[in-house]
Each structure stands twice: as structure tokens, then as C-alpha cells.
């Protein structure tokens, strides 16, 4: 028997090896350059309606959704603290029926009145002053308690300018807790107004007892959420501020629900610091659930006086004599120095 073995030519073997080499090269190139990178990192580029309507959703469109009003919105899922885990942000989507914006009313020379809304979501009180020394009044709002979230809120400041108080100059980064009233005063006499807030009792470790009077120090760079001074005053329900003793330092008068007024007499001139002498005087306010306090030179003698309003058709006047004394006599006879007037409102 004759067995014939047909040998493959050497050139044909080389061709097959070359094909195998080419195939594996192409496979490794495709796997490492296209498949692996796509499985590790995703690039989401669907950031406009034009991108959306082309029907090709990158990353299967899992970072976007279309809201009820037809707008494309991003689902915020990012790693904010760089710990490798995606974090979630839940934005406030409740209706804002109780958070009405403040209304600005302007009266023009021809007696027409213009009303517009200011960019503050709910407020209990507003005061004003030129916080940044640019010649325009700035507005400082006491936030309301919307009852949806916890009582921790922020003071809103809207800086004024030639075009009024637009939303673009609204800031809210000063933390407060169940805040009830706001006042401004240059307590340390550095030329910059400080923001005085009346809050709940202590809400963080280390705060004093009583309602927290939190003072945010003003300065050439504005206000910082960490630059404040806390003072605890029991039963505080209202605050007002003026320089009652005419020494150049603004002072704070704190109305209390136990028929007393506590005065914070400031007396040092240091950056972001003040020495405070506390003095409390008792008064015989009527049994009222609604008391308020304000300051002004009522009797036009150049000294700032204090007014206490009630819901009993009475308005209390505490006339200042300067030098931390009141009425016709000394500070020890405050009750007799009070005069109350019939007051209808
Ligand atoms: Ca200003
Ligand atoms: Ca100041
Ligand atoms: Ca003073
Ligand atoms: Ca006066």
C-alpha cells in the first residue's frame, strides 16, 4: 500500500498563522479599547432637548426624566463626599402655599403704586440697613417656619442696588433655629452693621441656656455662617436695637414673656467681639399673649426710647434719659417711669 502524505506548503501555513494573529489582535483591541472602557465609565451627554429628541439616550437615559410640565430634568445622583458611593439629594417639592414671597410696594411720584414679589420664600419680619456700604439699603428677612422641615432655617439677605432688590442678589447662608425676630446693630462699633437674631433654646451642643440671641458679625467681606456670637436670654419673645445710652455702641433690648426687658449693653471695640453687660428690668405688662417691642425717639429729645405694644389697646412708652437710665428717675424706678397711652390699632 502506498500512502501518500500531502504536505501543506510552508507559505500557506504562514498565511493561516498571520490570519490567527490578525484575528486575536483585532479581538484584544476591540475588547480593551471599546468594551471595557464603556463598562467602567459612562459619559452622559444628554443635557438638552436637542439631545433628547434624537432618540439615542446615552447611558440608556437613566440619569434624566421628563417632568409633568414637559421639561427634561436631571436625576441628581452623584458622589458628593468622594467615598465611592452615590449620594441622593431630595429637593423640596412641596407646594409653597404657606411660603408667600414678600411683597415690595413702590409709590411713584404720580401716586401710582407698583407691587412686586421679592425672592424670599416666607418671612415673619424684615429690617433694613446698608450692610455693604454701597449706598443702597439691603433687606434682612426673618424666615417663617413652614412646618414641613425642621425649624432650622436661614436668614435671607437681599442686597439693594440701582435696580432694586432682584433675586440675583438674594443670599441665605446664615443658620438660625426657629427664629422669631431680627434686628441690625453695630454692636462692636467697627462701622459694619451686625445682624441680631432671636431663636429657640439651644439646638447644638455647647450653647447657653435660654433663648439664643445669635449675632452675625458684619465686615468688609460680608457675613460668614461660622462668624457669630450666641447669648442665651430666658423667655425672650422680641428684640429691638438702638444706642440707648448714646455712647456710640448700639445696644439690644430683649422683650421677655415674664414681663421684663433684658438689655445687652455692649462696650468694647474689637473685631468680631464685644463685651456685654446684661441688665434686666421687670415691668407690669398686662396678661397678654401678644407683645412686641420697637425703638425710636418718640419724644424728640435726641435719645432713643422703647415702645412695647400689646393686644389690649395699650402702648407702653419707656423714655430714655441716656446713660442707661429711663424715665424721670433712675433705672431702679423703671415701672413708675412707664406711661401708657390709649392706643387703637
Ligand atoms: Ca447696600
Ligand atoms: Ca459691627
Ligand atoms: Ca450704646
Ligand atoms: Ca427720646
| Between residues 228 and 19, the one the model is more confident about | 228
Taking the centre of ligand 1 as the mean of its atom positions, its distance from the CA of residue 159, in whole angstroms, is 6
Distance from C-alpha of 17 to C-alpha of 20, rounded to nearest angstrom: 5
| Nearby residues for ligand 3 (ion, Cβ within 5 Å) | 243, 245, 247, 249, 251
**Residue 242 alpha carbon to ligand 3 centre in Å:** 7
Q: Which ligand is nearest to the CA of 317?
A: 4
Q: 3-state class of 199 per DSSP?
A: coil
* One-character DSSP codes across 3-28: ----PPPHHHHHHHHHHHHHHHHHHH
Distance 238 CA to ligand 3 centre (A): 19
Distance CA 205, CA 37 (A): 48
Cα 145 to middle of ligand 1, angstroms: 27
Q: Which is nearest to 302 in space by CA: 320, 324, 328?
A: 320
**pLDDT value of residue 294:** 92
- Please choose, from the candidates 311, 307, 328, the residue with its C-alpha nearest in 3D space to the C-alpha of residue 261: 307
What is the 325 CA–ligand 2 centroid distance (Å)?
Answer: 24
Q: How far apart are CA 102 and CA 165, in angstroms?
A: 11
- Residues 312 and 293: beta-carbon distance below 8 Å: no
Distance from residue 192's CA to the centre of ligand 4 (Å): 24
Please write the tens of the pLDDT for every residue from 181-235.
Answer: 999 999 999 999 999 999 999 999 999 999 999 999 999 989 998 899 999 999 9
| Mean pLDDT, residues 234-260 taken together | 92
Q: How close is the Cα of 82 to the center of ligand 1, in Å?
A: 38
Q: Which ligand is nearest to the CA of 193?
A: 2
- When the pLDDT of each residue in the chain is averaged and rounded to a whole number, the result is 79
Q: Which ligand number lies closest to the CA of residue 297?
A: 4
**Closest-lying ligand to the alpha carbon of 133?**
1
Cα–Cα distance, 157 to 196 (Å, whole number)? 13
The pLDDT value given to residue 290: 79
324 Cα to the center of ligand 3, angstroms: 8
Cα 188 to Cα 44, 113, 322, distances in angstroms:
52, 39, 19
Q: How far is the CA of 216 from the centre of ligand 1 (A)?
A: 17
DSSP 116: E
Q: Work out the pLDDT band at 328, boundaries 50, 70, 90.
A: very low
Retrieve residue 80's grid coordinates: 458628593
For residue 244, give the ligand nearest its CA. Answer: 3
Q: Which range among 55-69, 142-156, 157-171, 277-291 shows the weakest confidence by mean pLDDT?
A: 55-69
How many A from CA of 27 to the centre of ligand 1? 67
Amino acid at each position: 500500500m502506498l500512502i501518500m502524505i500531502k504536505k501543506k506548503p510552508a507559505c500557506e501555513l504562514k498565511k493561516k498563522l498571520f490570519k490567527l494573529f490578525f484575528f486575536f489582535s483585532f479581538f484584544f483591541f476591540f475588547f480593551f479599547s471599546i468594551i471595557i472602557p464603556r463598562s467602567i465609565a459612562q459619559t452622559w451627554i444628554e443635557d438638552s432637548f436637542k439631545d433628547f429628541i434624537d432618540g439615542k439616550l446615552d447611558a440608556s437615559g437613566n440619569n434624566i426624566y421628563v417632568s409633568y410640565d414637559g421639561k427634561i430634568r436631571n436625576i441628581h445622583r452623584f458622589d458628593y463626599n468622594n467615598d465611592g458611593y452615590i449620594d441622593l439629594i431630595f429637593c423640596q417639592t412641596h407646594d409653597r402655599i404657606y411660603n408667600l414671597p414678600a411683597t415690595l410696594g413702590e409709590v411713584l411720584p404720580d401716586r401710582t403704586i407698583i407691587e412686586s414679589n421679592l425672592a424670599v420664600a416666607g418671612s415673619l419680619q424684615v429690617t433694613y440697613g446698608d450692610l455693604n456700604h454701597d449706598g443702597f439699603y439691603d433687606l434682612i428677612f426673618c424666615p417663617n417656619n413652614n412646618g414641613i422641615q425642621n425649624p432650622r432655617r436661614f436668614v435671607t439677605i437681599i442686597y439693594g442696588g440701582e435696580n432694586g432688590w432682584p433675586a440675583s442678589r438674594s443670599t441665605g447662608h446664615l443658620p438660625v433655629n426657629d427664629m422669631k425676630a431680627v434686628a441690625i446693630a453695630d454692636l462692636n462699633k467697627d462701622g459694619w452693621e451686625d445682624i441680631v437674631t432671636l431663636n429657640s433654646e439651644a439646638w447644638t451642643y455647647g450653647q447657653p441656656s435660654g433663648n439664643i440671641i445669635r449675632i452675625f458679625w458684619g465686615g468688609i467681606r460680608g457675613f460668614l455662617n461660622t462668624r457669630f456670637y450666641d447669648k442665651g436670654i430666658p423667655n425672650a419673645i422680641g428684640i429691638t436695637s438702638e444706642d440707648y445710652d448714646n455712647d456710640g455702641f448700639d445696644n439690644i433690648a430683649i422683650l421677655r414673656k415674664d414681663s421684663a426687658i433684658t438689655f445687652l449693653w455692649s462696650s468694647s471695640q474689637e473685631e468680631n467681639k464685644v463685651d456685654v453687660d446684661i441688665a434686666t428690668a421687670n415691668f407690669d405688662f398686662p396678661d397678654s399673649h401678644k407683645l412686641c417691642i420697637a425703638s425710636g425717639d418718640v419724644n424728640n429729645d435726641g435719645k432713643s426710647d422703647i415702645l412695647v405694644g400689646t393686644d389690649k389697646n395699650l402702648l407702653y412708652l419707656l423714655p430714655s434719659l441716656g446713660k442707661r437710665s429711663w424715665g424721670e428717675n433712675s433705672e431702679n424706678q423703671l415701672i413708675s417711669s412707664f406711661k401708657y397711652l390709649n392706643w387703637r390699632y
